[in-house]
Amino acid sequence: MIQLKQISKTYASGGRLVHALKDIQLHVTKGEIFGIIGHSGAGKSTLIRTINLLERPSTGQVVVDGVDMTALSQSKLQEERRSIGMIFQHFNLLSSLTVRENIAFPLRLAKRPKDAVKRRVDELIGLVGLQEHADKFPAQLSGGQKQRVGIARALATDPKVLLCDEATSALDPQTTQSILSLLLEINRRLHITIVLITHEMQVIRSICDRVAVLDSGEIVETGLVADVFLKPQHRTTRDFVAQVSELPEIAQGSTDGMSGRTQVRITFIGEQTYEPVLYHTMKEKNVPFAILQGTISRLKDVPYGQLVVELHASGGEAERTIAALREQGLDVEVLKHG
């Protein structure tokens, strides 16, 4: 659906050349929710704005649904942009227009018939749950209600892609969750491809299918959210995962007093999370164990569990037990050897 091919963006600032994006290669599949996470200044907003060419890349190609956006004339680009909706951190509503009029605005720009505009606006007001607020002005709305108007407006022209530029960062946690639930419902009901940027790992784990981690204008890690969240490889990714991890870090201190014992972190993904795999394996190997820490949670629709376990075994016995756990499809990381 979306392909970014060798995208770079440079600009001059204070007499020096700034590399905002560096050789970005990215593919977003039709119908998925794809997250891009990074710290402030990492290049997230620049990257998402290259998709609809609000930011024109210095080099590279942007292909959306088979169309090379970077090769279009200005008039053709304007036409193609109607298939790409966008919602913003600070809503960008027109203060002099009502909810209904804000949603209708892009349809009027597209010169749609009045009766078609009314039908579409009524449909979208129902979709985002603003039936009781249709004739209010933005100043009369809460932050969450304003963002719902922004979402409805972005969907007005029936786009194939919805871009979300820090769409929840100005909202409180409860409102954020309601907006994320709405985006997930829209994705499932309309099969629309969603690309969102954020600096919050909780947003990624709640609704995204895949994620790319951006650091200093470069993608340093990408993959399925479950893989990236549970097995982060890059320092920046580990920083983000630490924001929302339910498991405290295990102290990497002395192994004194651990003779004959081995500490491991075991990760379960999917339905295996609820199966007694650990119990059965330990019973078969006749290895006593103690659970030191543990959590069960979800990454979007995927359940997962993490346990820190102390095996009352060492040397070859511990290695055979760990191998047996891995044969069951579990990810096992050795933390301490006795």
Domains and CATH numbers, the chain: 2-244 (3.40.50.300), 262-337 (3.30.70.260)
Band (253; pLDDT cuts 50, 70, 90): very low
Q: Of the given ranges (8-17, 20-29, 248-257, 259-268), which has the lowest mean pLDDT?
A: 248-257
What letter does residue 156 receive in the DSSP assignment?
T
pTM for this structure? 0.87
Which residue is it, tokens 């096992």?
A: 332
Residue 282 C-alpha from the chain's centroid: 37
121 with 130: CB under 8 angstroms?
no
- 273 versus 257: the higher-pLDDT residue is 273
**Distance separating alpha carbons of residues 69 and 63, to the nearest angstrom:** 6
**Distance separating alpha carbons of residues 57 and 20, to the nearest angstrom:** 10
What letter does residue 97 receive in the DSSP assignment?
S
Radius of gyration from C-alpha coordinates of the chain? 24
User: What integer pLDDT is reported at residue 272 of this predicted model?
Assistant: 85
- 18 versus 245: the higher-pLDDT residue is 18
**pLDDT, tens digit, for every residue of 134-145?**
999 999 999 999
Q: 3-state class of 81 per DSSP?
A: helix
**Distance separating alpha carbons of residues 154 and 164, to the nearest angstrom:** 10
The arithmetic mean of pLDDT across residues 270-299, rounded, is 90
The arithmetic mean of pLDDT across residues 119-143, rounded, is 96
The arithmetic mean of pLDDT across residues 143-156, rounded, is 96
